[in-house]
């Protein structure tokens, strides 16, 4: 089934917005190729425990952005030639060059994930991985779940999702409620496009991840392309997975945000993998994870 015309238009406009912001995001991450040459990793303990050892397994990382988490599957978990898929031309170009400069082998594919589901071979991956800030860019959560089911191997295939919680996304940077918990498939348009959120998540000269230093990079970035997001409730994600034929194995919520500072007054905590952020004076779910298998 193809993406609806309106959904495809939203995805295409998001592609243009991502194409503008990718370089700004990566301008704050110093010497990334050296970081990965030295077996650096952008993975946190949560996803490492969920994924486990990937040696000998076929792995697909959907909505892989500029490829840092994809390459970390190699350096930290033993994946061999994982496949990364993303809609942004700039992100995939960056990921391919980063892999080459780092001496790591990964396959990066420029595609809307819905198109990828339709065009790639079914039943081919042991593990499908989705990480951080991915589902909000999808116009149809049921279509996503059916696609994940399609590309997983039967009997042994599993999907590992670690994602920012929709509760976290209800508030703006000043912690004022500005967005719904669930938009029920309705797009929420941001005329100013995707922001340079990496710029507010680090301090000059300090490490974003062990061995990867934050630098000032591009300042005062302005995106000229609008973006469109979709708020999917946790129940809608779980129900989509179940309706697609996946079997739920684990569901976990976390009271912190790994690496990304959503609000101005969030409190940082440095952990071995990097920095996690807690809402100041509040405790509520900031991330969640799902592991599901294909029977």
Residue with the bigger pLDDT between 160 and 220: it is 160
CB 133 within 8 A of CB 260: yes
The Cα 73–Cα 70 span in angstroms is 5
Residue 1: is its pLDDT beyond 80?
Answer: no
Average confidence (pLDDT) over 51-76: 98
Percent of the chain at pLDDT exceeding 70? 98
pLDDT score recorded for residue 164: 98
Owner of token pair 């486990």: 52
Q: Which two tokens stand for residue 241?
A: 């997975």
Of 75-79, 100-104, 186-190, 244-248, least confident by mean pLDDT is 186-190
The Cα 181–Cα 236 span in angstroms is 11
The Cα 92–Cα 161 span in angstroms is 21
Residue-wise pLDDT tens digits, 2-53: 344 678 899 999 999 999 999 999 999 989 999 999 999 999 999 999 999 9
Q: Which two tokens stand for residue 94?
A: 């960056």
Residue 60: is its pLDDT beyond 80?
Answer: yes
**Mean pLDDT rounded to a whole number for the chain:** 94
Give the start-to-end residue ranges of the domains of the chain: 30-182+232-293
Average confidence (pLDDT) over 216-230: 93
CB 62 within 8 A of CB 147: no
The Cα 17–Cα 39 span in angstroms is 31
Of 18-22, 79-83, 191-195, 198-202, least confident by mean pLDDT is 198-202
Sheet with 158-164, edge to edge strand ranges = 107-110, 83-86, 59-62, 127-131, 158-164, 287-293, 247-254
pLDDT score recorded for residue 99: 98
pTM: 0.94
Average confidence (pLDDT) over 185-199: 90
pLDDT score recorded for residue 128: 99
Residue with the bigger pLDDT between 98 and 184: it is 98
pLDDT score recorded for residue 2: 37
In DSSP terms, 214 is beta-bridged to 29
Q: Which two tokens stand for residue 4?
A: 């609806």
The Cα 35–Cα 79 span in angstroms is 17
Task: List the end-to-end C-alpha distance of the chain, in Å, as a whole number.
Answer: 22
pLDDT score recorded for residue 203: 78
Residue-wise pLDDT tens digits, 258-286: 999 999 999 999 999 999 999 998 899 99
Does 3.40.50.150 match the CATH number of domain 30-182+232-293? yes
**pLDDT band at residue 199 using 50, 70 and 90 as cut-offs:** confident
Considering only CA atoms, which of 88, 151, 145 is closest in space to residue 116? 151
Residue 173: is its pLDDT beyond 90?
Answer: no
- For residue 2, the tally of other CB atoms under 10 A from its CB is 10
pLDDT score recorded for residue 172: 87
């Amino acid at each position: 089934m193809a993406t609806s015309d309106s959904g495809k238009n939203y995805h295409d406009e998001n592609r243009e917005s991502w194409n503008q912001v990718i370089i700004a995001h990566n301008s704050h991450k110093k010497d990334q190729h050296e970081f990965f040459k030295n077996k650096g990793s952008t993975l946190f303990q949560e996803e490492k425990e969920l994924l486990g050892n990937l040696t000998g397994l076929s792995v697909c990382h959907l909505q892989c952005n500029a490829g840092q988490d994809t390459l970390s599957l190699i350096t930290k978990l033993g994946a061999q030639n994982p496949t990364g898929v993303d809609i942004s031309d700039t992100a995939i170009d960056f990921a391919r060059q980063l892999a080459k400069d780092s001496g790591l082998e990964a396959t990066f594919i420029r595609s809307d994930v819905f198109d990828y589901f339709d065009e790639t071979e079914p039943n081919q991956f042991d593990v499908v991985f989705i990480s951080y800030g991915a589902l909000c860019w999808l116009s149809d959560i049921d279509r996503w779940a059916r696609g994940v089911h399609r590309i997983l191997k039967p009997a042994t295939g599993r999907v590992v999702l670690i994602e920012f919680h929709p509760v976290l996304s209800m508030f703006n940077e000043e912690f004022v409620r500005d967005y719904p918990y669930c938009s029920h498939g309705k797009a929420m348009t941001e005329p100013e496009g995707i922001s340079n959120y990496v710029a507010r998540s680090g301090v000059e000269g300090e490490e974003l991840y062990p061995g990867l230093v934050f630098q000032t990079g591009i300042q005062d970035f302005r995106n000229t392309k609008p973006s469109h997001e979709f708020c999917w409730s946790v129940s809608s994600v779980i129900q989509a997975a179940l309706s697609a034929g996946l079997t739920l194995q684990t569901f976990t919520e976390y009271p912190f945000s790994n690496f990304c500072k959503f609000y101005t007054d969030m409190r940082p905590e440095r952990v071995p993998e990097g920095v996690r952020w807690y809402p100041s004076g509040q405790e509520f779910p900031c991330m969640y994870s799902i592991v599901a298998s294909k029977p």
